[in-house]
Chain A
Amino acid sequence: MPIIEIKNLTFAYNKQIILEDINLSVQKNDFLAIIGPNGGGKSTLLKLILGIENYKNGTIKILDQEPSKNLSKVGYVPQNTNINIDFPIKVIEVVMMGHVGHKRPLLGYRKEEIACAMGALAQVGMEKFAQIKIGSLSGGQRQRVMIARALCAHPEILILDEPTASIDVTGQKQIYDLLKILNKTITIIVVSHDISVILGYASKVAHINKNISYHDISDTKRNFDSSDDHFCEVELLQMLSKDSTKKSCSC
């Protein structure tokens, strides 16, 4: 059974078609990269999968159910983690927001909630920072906390929207290395326009610009021998041209 199954999805906003005839099937333990130009409909597709926007034409099934019925199976890491930096809140409190639908005490937090949140922080290597104000962390550290928050609900799918948009190159690689480890047990979907980094980690790529083009790149040979952990577009093109076995692309 596919984790996420999208069939013939068309979505329009104010009579303008944003997504047209999208078909996508995400399998267990896929690492899917969704790429495409700004305004191409990537974020809209995420919102539809997360049940924030409602669709009329086509179907979206998460583990064979409507998106809104299976929200606890989906962990979400939003795009902008630089909002509200001055907010007086400890790292552990942010992580505990990830809990859903559990019975809770009238005052304070339950021991299990705290233990679970600490576990999620340990998974992303941030347990030492639990009692620190979130605003004093770096962008990369904050992004790890947001991943821990998503992990807190024990999701089967982790969806990240531009997870490395405001992080330095070293931090980006750390985030993707972390995702790679998590990917052993969790299906991961990353929306990004930073193709160069993500191609080193993703097993499937979906290019979205109103329509979808889907590639399985898990068998593609990848020569990431760059020394500074970063690929500019030129290196990327060189790398792809080396790969003569690549099938011709329709996009």
Chain B
Amino acid sequence: MLDMLQYEFIQNAIIAGILVSFASGIIGSLIVVNRMVFLAGGIAHTSYGGIGLAVYFGFPIFFGASIFACGAALLMAFITLKNRNRIDTFIGLIWAIGMAIGIILIDLTPGYNVDLMSYLFGSILAVSDQDLYFMGGLLFVIIVIMSVWYKDILAVSYDSEYANLRSINVPFFYTLILVLSALTVVVAIKVVGLILVIALLTIPIYIAEKLSNTLASMMVYAGVLSTFFTLLGLFLSYNYDLTSGATIIMVSGVGLIVYFVVEKIVRYKNSL
């Protein structure tokens, strides 16, 4: 196993795995407790439009996808804050239109031959140093925001009606959570890809929620579990020549099943 560590692309993959795991652990916790999984899925798929845009105009993929995902997040925040009914319909609309824009722009790009699959299923083995700076910067921003506004974000997430009464700016924090989700989704796309990003944002989070009694500990558990699943998945995909994103998600899925079984056994033993 140690010989694989000598390659720079493996080192980068491991660092990326850790950075993205903690970013998605923290933000995924917020997405799950705020019941925004479908929203996050919408943002993830809409960001494909940004990838198309970046390819068409020839600017960096991360930049294009981030701009587009943030735009989608702001639009969804605006719609969901304005109109609580039919949110799911609007999310579905934005989701589909974003992806369609991406595909058409890639069609229109002359001589395009970048591997589309790498965005759908991730390319953790092709993480550049710049990608790492972006991921590290995002994780740093997320940690700073969570430290400064933890209590407000906790109040908005747990009981937004009451937070509003305590003069906390609920729309601001709601939008902030969505924008951070958008940026996290973009970096998670690099690791597990567009299709599987929601699994990374939910499977470790679900286990972490069961294990924790505070939001902060949930975020830490989720980050640690995510790191474990990502690195184990990376190791298996390297050794058995499997698609990295899918392997990471399969490892997480097996982890979830193991958790269910262990939980049942513990509960059974406690009831004896």
* Shortest beta-carbon distance from B157 to chain A in Å: 8
Q: A240 vs B163: C-alpha distance in the bound complex, in angstroms?
A: 41
- Residues of B within 8 Å of A251, CB to CB, are none
B159 touches A78 (CB 8 A): yes
The answer to the question of A93 belonging to the interface, with a C-beta cut-off of 8 Å to chain B, is yes
B213 touches A88 (CB 8 A): yes
- Residues of A within 8 Å of B215, CB to CB, are 87-89
A54-107 interface with B by 8 A CB criterion: 71, 76, 78, 83-84, 86-90, 93-94, 96-101, 104, 106-107
Q: A103 vs B215: C-alpha distance in the bound complex, in angstroms?
A: 22
Please, which residue of chain B has its CB at the minimum distance from the CB of A79? B161
- Contact for A90 among B150, B162, B165, B213, CB less than 8 A: B213
The answer to the question of A52 belonging to the interface, with a C-beta cut-off of 8 Å to chain B, is yes
Please, which residue of chain A has its CB at the minimum distance from the CB of B211? A88
* Shortest beta-carbon distance from A160 to chain B in Å: 13
Interface SS majority for chain B: helix
* Shortest beta-carbon distance from A88 to chain B in Å: 4
- Contact for B162 among A89, A96, A97, CB less than 8 A: A97
Please, which residue of chain A has its CB at the minimum distance from the CB of B32? A86
The answer to the question of B218 belonging to the interface, with a C-beta cut-off of 8 Å to chain A, is yes
Given the known inter-chain contacts A83-B159, A84-B33, A84-B158, please indicate yes or no for A52 contacting B165, CB distance below 8 A: yes
A93 touches B209 (CB 8 A): no
The answer to the question of B212 belonging to the interface, with a C-beta cut-off of 8 Å to chain A, is yes
- Contact for B167 among A87, A89, A101, A106, CB less than 8 A: A101
Q: A1 vs B209: C-alpha distance in the bound complex, in angstroms?
A: 49
Q: A52 vs B164: C-alpha distance in the bound complex, in angstroms?
A: 8
- Residues of A within 8 Å of B158, CB to CB, are 84, 87, 89, 94, 97
A106 touches B165 (CB 8 A): no
A88 touches B166 (CB 8 A): no
The answer to the question of A50 belonging to the interface, with a C-beta cut-off of 8 Å to chain B, is yes
B8-67 interface with A by 8 A CB criterion: 33
- Residues of B within 8 Å of A109, CB to CB, are 151
Q: A87 vs B29: C-alpha distance in the bound complex, in angstroms?
A: 10
The answer to the question of B147 belonging to the interface, with a C-beta cut-off of 8 Å to chain A, is yes
The answer to the question of B148 belonging to the interface, with a C-beta cut-off of 8 Å to chain A, is yes
The answer to the question of B128 belonging to the interface, with a C-beta cut-off of 8 Å to chain A, is no
The answer to the question of B155 belonging to the interface, with a C-beta cut-off of 8 Å to chain A, is yes
B165 touches A71 (CB 8 A): yes
Please, which residue of chain B has its CB at the minimum distance from the CB of A98? B166
Q: A88 vs B163: C-alpha distance in the bound complex, in angstroms?
A: 17
The answer to the question of A133 belonging to the interface, with a C-beta cut-off of 8 Å to chain B, is yes
B218 touches A88 (CB 8 A): yes
A86 touches B209 (CB 8 A): yes
**What are 14 A-B interface contacts by the 8 Å CB criterion?**
A50-B165, A51-B165, A52-B161, A87-B158, A87-B215, A88-B213, A88-B217, A89-B154, A89-B214, A89-B215, A90-B213, A96-B151, A98-B166, A100-B166
Question: Which B residues contact A (CB, under 8 angstroms)?
Answer: 33, 147-148, 150-151, 154-155, 157-159, 161-167, 209, 212-215, 217-218
The 10 residue pairs across chains A and B that have the minimum distance between CB atoms: A133-B213, A88-B212, A88-B218, A97-B155, A100-B166, A87-B158, A88-B215, A87-B33, A88-B213, A90-B213
